[in-house]
Each structure stands twice: as structure tokens, then as C-alpha cells.
Amino acid sequence: MHVKEVAPNHPLVQAFKGNGLTHVDEPYFFNNAYFDYNFRPLLYIEIDKLEGMKKEVDEKVNYVSWIKRHGKGRVFYSSPSHNAQSLDHPGLLQFFLDGLQYAVGDLKCDDSPIGK
């Protein structure tokens, strides 16, 4: 599976250097969990390029990482992989660190929601 950056120039995805992340894993699909798009997407997968899907999904893109403001705080969500080998990828580890820096307020970036 190839995970791609939504906006390669966004500060939170700089660790991938425009190359995204390729790994072996299964994607998670949440039914209508993010239908209002009240977040800034960071990473995505193209669903039509996945092989071995057990059921059809209406969306063409699945956002696997995003950020948003919530009250006075910040949320960093990321589920690009739960494969242990992915945690050896320096870019993914840097991405997690950058996401945590955003969540605690040390990294400023565009977190405006994309909306419908």
C-alpha cells in the first residue's frame, strides 16, 4: 500500500520528502466517521489502487492522517500503519514526532478544515 501526502509542502509531512510511505498493511475504513471533513488531511491512500479488498467502498480516497483544532487544543490523528516493520521507517517516526509537536502547540501550521 502506498500512503501519499495530501500537500507535500505542508510542514507536518516534510519527513516523507514527497515520496510518501510504501508498506504492507491493511487499511482501516470508518463508516461515515469523517463525513463532514472538519479536519486538515495530511496523508491518504487511493482506494481504487488497493488489491484484495473484501468489500467495495464508495470513497476514492481514504485519509489516514489529519489534524484539527478542538476547543483550545489540537488533535493529531494518524493510522497509516500498524505493521511493526513500518516503525523502522525514519520518515514515519519523524512524522509522528512532528504530529506530537503540533498537538502540544510547538509546531504551527495550517490546520483549517477542508469542509465538504
Q: What percent of the chain has pLDDT over 90?
A: 50
How does the average pLDDT of the chain come out, rounded? 85
Q: What is the mean pLDDT of residues 34-47?
A: 86
pLDDT at residue 36 is higher than 70: yes
Per residue in 50-61, pLDDT tens?
665 556 666 678
pTM of the model: 0.85
The residue ranges of every structural domain in the chain are 2-103
B/e letters for 59-93, b = 16+ CB within 10 Å, e = fewer, are: eeebbbbbbbeeeeebebbbebbeeeebeebeebe
Q: What is the mean pLDDT of residues 56-79?
A: 87
Partners of 76 in the β-ladder: 67
pLDDT score recorded for residue 27 = 67
The DSSP letter of residue 36 is T
